[in-house]
């Protein structure tokens, strides 16, 4: 029959109880409960371990530490178990590689560790990926010619860029962000949920018909504008700019958009007089919040078959309608970021400088 364990001094039961009530760490809590049970002399090592969901050898190790150095030794934080395979420098190198998307598979990380003289199984690699909170994600495409310095400069100096535009001191000003989306009858495949071990199938067709939708949202008021059009060109962009001006013909409308070939440049002669253009840096779609709107459209039109452009346009309208009916949806799309904060600062500065009367 297993022998009941009995532990004496150097700490009194009252001192252990006081330490127990003051502790805030599960690390300390479990050890103090084990010690308190051991001092009562009514329990075996196996019973104490079972009560705390610990192995018998763990309880032996705790009580041995207490006998050697009292509560201080019992509650000391040590690593315990085997030493980790990856040292601090290895972990930082792993994180740096993950941030840069260096590896596509765990096997590639396994081979990289092997080159560093670290041998572990692929399952060990998965353990460390979980340890550093890594996720397997689909990367966002970035153009090879994207200029990161120019991108950051645009974000940091958005207020100065808005103030540099030729805008009268008086009168209303609106700041729009614009983009286009191409839709068509070629099916869009999107991720979907299915059962483990089952490969889901979705219908697909190849029909080479498409159209475009111009979209713009006003950052300060949340107003949204959309226009379906069969193609994109300077003439089509001109029509959409005129549609923006029609929302308030007495105001100045700042339009932030990319440098597509069918977009006017700021110095173009046919830009409406009430429009000021602010081009985004080249190859930087992530700066345009309208990109998130088109992701929502693709989510609702993906994995479906549309026989005509009219049908897919009807679906797109159903998706976009809440955005021009509810400004809160637009504000949720824009979010709280460098652009919305920059425009808010720009508007506040204009209000402070308005000419009286």
Q: What is the pLDDT of residues 123-165, one digit of tens each?
A: 999 999 999 999 998 888 888 999 999 999 999 999 999 999 9
pLDDT at 285 > cutoff 60: yes
Are residues 192 and 118 located together in one domain of the fold?
no
Residues 171 and 34 both lie in one domain: no
Task: Answer yes or no: do 189 and 243 share one domain.
Answer: yes
* Residues 243 and 157 grouped into a single domain: yes
Q: Is residue 321 part of a domain?
A: yes
Q: Range of 152's domain? A: 148-353
Higher pLDDT, 288 or 22: 288
Same structural domain, 218 and 338: yes
Q: Is 6 exposed, middle or buried (0-12, 13-18, 19+ CB in 10 A)?
A: exposed
For residue 151, which phi and psi values (nearest 5 degrees)? Answer: -60, -50
Q: Listing from the earlier edge strand, what are the strands of the sheet with 252-257?
A: 224-229, 210-218, 173-184, 252-257, 275-279
207 shares a domain with 320: yes
**Residue 157 located in a structural domain:** yes
Q: Which CATH number goes with the domain that contains 171? A: 3.30.420.10
Looking at the structure, do residues 14 and 152 belong to the same domain, yes or no?
A: no
> Quick one: 257 and 322 in the same domain?
yes
> Does the residue 142 lie in any domain?
no
Average pLDDT of the residues in 50-76 = 84
Question: What is the model's pLDDT at position 356?
Answer: 56
Q: Is residue 143 part of a domain?
A: no
pLDDT at 79: 52
User: What number is the average pLDDT over the span 179-199?
Assistant: 91
Q: Are residues 105 and 208 in the same domain?
A: no
Q: Cα separation of 160 and 27, whole Å?
A: 53
Question: Among 56-70, 105-119, 166-180, 310-324, whose mean pLDDT is lowest?
Answer: 56-70
Q: Are 43 and 31 in contact (CB under 8 A)?
A: no
Do 225 and 102 share a structural domain?
no
Question: Is 70 exceeded by the pLDDT of residue 81?
Answer: no
Q: Give the model's pLDDT for residue 151.
A: 95
Q: How many domains does the chain have?
A: 3
Give 111-140 as a 3 state SS string. HHHHHCCCCCCHHHHHHHHHHCCCCCCCCC
Q: What is the pLDDT of residue 28?
A: 82
Q: What pLDDT is recorded for position 31?
A: 84
pLDDT of residue 149: 95
Instruction: Report, as an integer, the average pLDDT of 291-298.
Output: 94
pLDDT number for residue 337: 96
268 DSSP 8-state letter: -
Does the pTM of the predicted model rise above 0.75?
A: no
**Does residue 284 lie within any of the structural domains?**
yes
Q: Please check whether residues 176 and 123 belong to one and the same domain.
A: no
67 and 40 co-located in one domain: yes
pLDDT on residue 1? 62
């Amino acid at each position: 029959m297993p022998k009941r364990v009995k532990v004496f001094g150097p700490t009194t039961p009252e001192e252990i109880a006081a330490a127990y009530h003051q502790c805030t760490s599960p690390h300390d809590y479990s050890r103090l409960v084990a010690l308190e049970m051991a001092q009562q002399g009514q329990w075996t090592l196996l019973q104490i371990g079972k009560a705390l969901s610990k192995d018998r050898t763990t309880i032996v190790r705790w009580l041995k530490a207490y006998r050697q150095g009292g509560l201080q030794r019992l509650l000391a934080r040590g690593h315990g178990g085997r030493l980790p395979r990856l040292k601090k420098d290895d972990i930082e190198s792993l994180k740096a590689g993950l941030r840069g998307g260096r590896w596509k598979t765990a096997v590639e990380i396994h081979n990289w560790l092997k080159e560093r003289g670290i041998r572990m199984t692929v399952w060990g690699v998965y353990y460390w990926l979980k340890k550093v909170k890594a996720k397997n994600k689909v990367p966002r495409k970035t153009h090879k010619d994207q200029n990161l310095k120019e991108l950051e400069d645009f974000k940091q100096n958005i207020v100065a860029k808005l103030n540099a535009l030729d805008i009268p001191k008086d009168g209303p000003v609106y700041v729009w962000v614009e983009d286009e989306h191409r839709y068509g009858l070629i099916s869009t495949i999107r991720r979907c949920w299915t059962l483990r071990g089952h490969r889901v199938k979705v219908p697909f067709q190849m029909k080479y018909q498409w159209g475009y939708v111009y979209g713009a949202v006003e950052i300060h008021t949340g107003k949204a504008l959309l226009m379906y059009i069969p193609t994109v060109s300077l003439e089509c962009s001109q029509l959409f700019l005129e549609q923006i001006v029609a929302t308030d013909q007495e105001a100045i409308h700042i339009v932030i958009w990319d440098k597509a070939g069918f977009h006017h440049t700021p110095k173009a002669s046919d830009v409406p007089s009430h429009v000021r253009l602010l081009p985004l840096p080249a190859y930087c779609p992530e700066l345009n919040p309208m990109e998130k709107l088109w992701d929502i459209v693709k989510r609702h039109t993906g994995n479906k078959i549309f026989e005509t452009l009219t049908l897919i346009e009807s679906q797109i309208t159903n998706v976009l309608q809440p955005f021009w009916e509810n400004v809160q949806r637009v504000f949720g799309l824009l979010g709280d970021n460098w652009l919305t904060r920059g425009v808010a600062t720009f508007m506040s500065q204009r209000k402070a400088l308005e000419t009286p009367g």
